[in-house]
A and B are shown apart, each in its own frame.
Chain A
Amino acid sequence: MRHTKDDALSRPDTFADLYRRHTGMVYRLCRLSLRSDADAEDAVQSVFLKLLQHPKQFQDPEHEKAWLITAARNHCRDLLRSPWRSRRTNWDDLPELSSPDSAVSDGDTLRALLALPEKYKTLLYLYYYEGYRVRDLSRLLGRKESTLQTQLAKGRALLKLDLLDLGGMLDEEANP
């Protein structure tokens, strides 16, 4: 697919197709990193706007997808390093008061996932949701396959532990 700045706008269906194909993936990646709906929306817009203003020559759909993943990860990483982000606490990160009767809810599980270190949650997402194989992820993320296998195992363990901790905490609150 080849866009130029002018024809991308004059043929919005082409860009719209690309947007429809990948917006969910880019949004989920950004949402995972930034942990805020509003920030994720901003990031998605920035990534696609960049593509619209600086068109790329993609060899195939996989190349297109890989470029968007890399662009989204880089953009989110830049945002996380910015002074604005590094000096404030995300509203979504603040702990909520939980009811003693509540079990581990979907919201708690999601929070545990979002609280995982960046390298684990992105890897888990690309592996389990996007269906990438470890060999492909090795090329995409620039990490060794053995490293990725280890990180996948550790990510799974961390997520499981976090969920157990969360459940244990709630049990303690319910039965002090």
Chain B
Amino acid sequence: MKKRIHDLFDALSPSAAQEARMFSAIETAAAGGAARRSSLPVRRMAALAACLLLVLGGALTYPLWRPFTPGASVDQPAPSAGEEIQTPVFALPAMLAGEAVTWEPIRKSGDAPDDPRSSLYRISAATGDRTALEKDLQVRITGTYADGRKITLGTELVFEGTEAAEEAFMASRSAFEPSAEVGATIAFCALKSETAEKGVTCLVFRCFVESIDQP
């Protein structure tokens, strides 16, 4: 048994060529200050390269798949009636610009993710009282197409209530199912405390195309 076990371990010894190769790699790594070794398995390098390509590809194509753009402007789908579909860039009401605003697309199951008419957004704004919000929205939401046309959305208050009730309302949004004429439905939640005391923490506005002006 002892002899056999000894012979078994002997079979695990490196060959002279392996020893020389490893020594050469160690010297190279030490001289170069880098842990680059010639015998690094090819499969590991291939996996690393694939990961890098994936990350690079994702970064380069980000504008194509990003779900929304937070901040002072947002890519809004074109709600054109019979118009070619393009993507105008909307300027948010001044009150929301620069605030901690998050845009969260809301979609019902079955919605095509890239259907430009099925865009609902919930905006969680840590700011704003109701008066300012309504006043700001009355100023109109405007946007610009890539070809220079101006689009103006009108707004209509369709819901006010608690956040829980708002969720139920949005879930049954068939009452205002977006059509070619409806740009988006926007819900503003987390209103200021004085409004919340009255049981109103969310407002839902239906946005509709008011005009599209040629440049």
Are A49 and B9 in contact, with the CB atoms below 8 A?
no
Are B37 and A128 in contact, with the CB atoms below 8 A?
no
Are B27 and A12 in contact, with the CB atoms below 8 A?
yes
Contacting residues, chain B, for A23 (C-beta < 8 A): 14, 19, 22-23
Contacting residues, chain A, for B5 (C-beta < 8 A): 113, 124, 128-129, 159
Residue of B nearest to A16 (CB): B23
Are A45 and B37 in contact, with the CB atoms below 8 A?
yes
Task: A42 to B41: give the CA distance in the assembly, Å.
Answer: 9
What 0/1 pattern do residues 12 to 50 of A give for CB contact below 8 A with B?
A: 100010011001100110011000011111101110110
Task: A66 to B27: give the CA distance in the assembly, Å.
Answer: 23
Answer whether residue A53 sits at the interface, using C-beta atoms and an 8 A cutoff: yes
Knowing A41-B18, A42-B37, say if A32 contacts B23 (CB, 8 Å): no
Contacting residues, chain A, for B18 (C-beta < 8 A): 27, 37, 41
Are B13 and A27 in contact, with the CB atoms below 8 A?
yes
Question: How many of chain B's residues have a CB under 8 angstroms from any CB in A?
Answer: 29
Answer whether residue B39 sits at the interface, using C-beta atoms and an 8 A cutoff: yes
Answer whether residue A9 sits at the interface, using C-beta atoms and an 8 A cutoff: yes
Task: Pick the residue among A28, A46, A128 that contacts B13 (CB under 8 A).
Answer: A28
Task: A53 to B35: give the CA distance in the assembly, Å.
Answer: 11
Answer whether residue A109 sits at the interface, using C-beta atoms and an 8 A cutoff: yes
Are B29 and A45 in contact, with the CB atoms below 8 A?
yes
Task: Pick the residue among A9, A24, A39, A42 that contacts B31 (CB under 8 A).
Answer: A9
What 0/1 pattern do residues 15 to 36 of B give for CB contact below 8 A with A?
A: 0001101110111011100010
Task: A38 to B22: give the CA distance in the assembly, Å.
Answer: 11
Are A52 and B41 in contact, with the CB atoms below 8 A?
no
Residue of B nearest to A29 (CB): B12
Task: A93 to B200: give the CA distance in the assembly, Å.
Answer: 64
Binding site for B on A (CB under 8 A): 8-9, 12, 16, 19-20, 23-24, 27-28, 31-32, 37-42, 44-46, 48-49, 52-53, 84, 106, 109-110, 113, 124-125, 128-129, 156, 159-160
14 additional A-B residue pairs with CB within 8 Å, beyond A38-B41, A40-B14, A41-B22: A8-B30, A23-B22, A23-B23, A27-B13, A27-B18, A38-B39, A45-B39, A46-B35, A106-B11, A109-B4, A113-B8, A124-B5, A128-B5, A129-B5
Are A128 and B6 in contact, with the CB atoms below 8 A?
yes
Residue of B nearest to A8 (CB): B30
Answer whether residue B40 sits at the interface, using C-beta atoms and an 8 A cutoff: yes
Knowing A38-B39, A128-B2, A128-B5, say if A45 contacts B26 (CB, 8 Å): yes
Answer whether residue B168 sits at the interface, using C-beta atoms and an 8 A cutoff: no
Answer whether residue B1 sits at the interface, using C-beta atoms and an 8 A cutoff: yes
Are B22 and A125 in contact, with the CB atoms below 8 A?
no
Q: Determine how close the nearest CB of chain A comes to the CB of B28; give it in whole angstroms.
A: 10
Task: A49 to B18: give the CA distance in the assembly, Å.
Answer: 16
Task: A41 to B25: give the CA distance in the assembly, Å.
Answer: 10
Knowing A23-B19, A129-B6, say if A49 contacts B13 (CB, 8 Å): no
Q: Determine how close the nearest CB of chain A comes to the CB of B18; give it in whole angstroms.
A: 6
A-B contacts, 30 of them at CB < 8 A, read A9-B31, A24-B13, A24-B19, A27-B18, A27-B19, A27-B22, A28-B9, A31-B12, A39-B41, A41-B18, A41-B21, A42-B37, A45-B25, A45-B37, A48-B22, A48-B26, A49-B26, A49-B30, A49-B35, A52-B30, A53-B30, A106-B11, A109-B4, A109-B8, A110-B8, A125-B9, A128-B5, A128-B9, A129-B9, A156-B1
